[in-house]
Structure 1
């Protein structure tokens, strides 16, 4: 049986636990800052500590698959365990893998992360639409079947993204706006929130020229170390801020490995985000 749709589960989790997604990004420098070795043992200790500290406190975790994959099969095994333990603690997991391909290859990526009996099954997956939005159809269909969701790259915070995302089509609409329109169509009629979201950087400034009201979640990286603050969210997202899932990674993780300090940092971000959203 499929789960309740991701959008509904996400909405409830953010109401219950606060509107915060914490990244699990065990890159080499952060492992070193924690006094851990840059190997599988350090990776496992880091990931376990983050989940033990925050698994019952935050709404969403976003593990970055690349930082696990760099250790090969043993690293992927740690990722499998991290996902399972995070979900067992009641948190939702968004796998940040940014997969994108065509046909049977896209279907295989979807099976890896969105099939319910997969060891890497996650509540949602980040995907790249730049082989055409239609190339994501296998992932969309399996997500619907499993009760999972997708976050589609739309307006990313990296400066290189603009050369693709702001390219203007023959109909006068740019690529990012086109992706947002596709997602709005996927989410039409869903309550309280659709399951197909967009990745929209919190560092991008005023985005009022875009229709961000896609009836789906907006995953917003960039808060904390990348320069955006919770108070900036209304100015970036406008009325759509109510559907924003703000992601903080280093801003929380730099307080580890102390469990209490990790929780304090996560609670502070969640409260600041909640206050910013309530002010709109």
Structure 2
């Protein structure tokens, strides 16, 4: 059985963070309208005004971003929506982005927010973490990633197949607990038995992760906790000192560097994600003025180094 000597996702992530010396990761959420003209024009010339032209632009851009960031970060997080909207060519670009990132030694967290019931959720887990039925055999998943984001709204039976595959194959999940979007409080802050609903979800995550602990003291059942809610992060961290936090919303969405300390425990246990603030830095000040679109690669590199320094300072 593969599970006998499997290394937990939590241990893999902690090791990658220590190797790179930063908990910062990069979200691969490419917006076609914001891609450099040098790339889009080349693909337009090759493929015309087609979906293939768009998705080749996205893939080439992603590969350049990965080349820039892979020496410095432990993981990337591609959000599937930016690929799926272009149909089969977009899904192919997503697959090739995952493959390229893994070839460059990065862990890949598929931001897919999957969930469902029964055999359907098992199929979702098979697609990214488990094994795919293939005639009289099983294949590794086509979207062979290290972890996925999941929605807990359907309860434990919508999570269990993910947990099973995490144990068997050394994979991980990040459960939506306190998300970074402004209206998240409409549901997540509803009072239930005297406390906010997101705290009940956090406790459930603790129970789900108790049997998937790594040697470094962290569970492979992680939590998504938005950078824009540091006070809520303090509460959740007290409940779950052994959970990994995936922290979206840094920078562009308003998450501040000085608040990031609340997501860690003794400087460990969290990864901070920035997407647009890194990959489209050349569209934003001060990088737009300093570099412009022509030097977009320099803007990506400098914005990442700035983020890494900011996070490192608060963890000292």
- TM-score normalised to structure 2 length: 0.80
Structure number, greater radius of gyration? 2
Mapped to 2, the partners of 1:93 and 1:271 lie a distance apart of 23
2:29 is the counterpart of 1:31: no
Mapped to 2, the partners of 1:73 and 1:212 lie a distance apart of 42
* 1:33–1:157 Cα change, 3 Å: farther
* 1:238–1:260 Cα change, 3 Å: closer
Q: What is the SS of the residue equivalent to 1:22? A: strand
Q: What are the superposed Cα offsets for residues 138-190 of structure 1, whole Å, 9 maximum, x if unpaired? A: 11111221101000000011122222212233x43432112211222233354
The offset of 1:266, in angstroms, is 1.7
Mapped to 2, the partners of 1:144 and 1:128 lie a distance apart of 19
The one of 185, 191, 194 aligned to 2:215: 191
Match of 1:75 in 2: 90
Q: What are the superposed Cα offsets for residues 240-268 of structure 1, whole Å, 9 maximum, x if unpaired? A: 76312100111111236733432332222
Mapped to 1, the partners of 2:264 and 2:79 lie a distance apart of 28
2:129 is the counterpart of 1:114: yes
2:172 is the counterpart of 1:149: yes
Structure 2: unaligned runs, 5 residues or longer: 42-52, 132-139, 283-294
Q: How does 1:153-168 map to 2 (within 5 A)?
A: 153-168=176-191
2:105 is the counterpart of 1:90: yes
The offset of 1:32, in angstroms, is 5.8
Match of 1:201 in 2: 226
Mapped to 2, the partners of 1:101 and 1:243 lie a distance apart of 28
The offset of 1:28, in angstroms, is 3.0
- Kindly report the root-mean-square deviation, in angstroms, between the aligned alpha carbons of the 2 structures: 2.2
Q: What is the SS of the residue equivalent to 1:263? A: helix
The offset of 1:90, in angstroms, is 1.1
Mapped to 2, the partners of 1:81 and 1:9 lie a distance apart of 22
The question of whether the paired residues in 2 share the 8 Å contact of 1:6 and 1:149 is answered with: yes
Q: How does 1:33-52 map to 2 (within 5 A)?
A: 36=40, 39-52=54-67
Match of 2:299 in 1: 261
Structure 1: unaligned runs, 5 residues or longer: none
The question of whether the paired residues in 1 share the 8 Å contact of 2:39 and 2:61 is answered with: no
The question of whether the paired residues in 1 share the 8 Å contact of 2:225 and 2:247 is answered with: yes
The question of whether the paired residues in 2 share the 8 Å contact of 1:154 and 1:180 is answered with: yes
The question of whether the paired residues in 1 share the 8 Å contact of 2:16 and 2:74 is answered with: yes
Q: What are the superposed Cα offsets for residues 4-44 of structure 1, whole Å, 9 maximum, x if unpaired? A: 11100101111111111100001233226776367112112
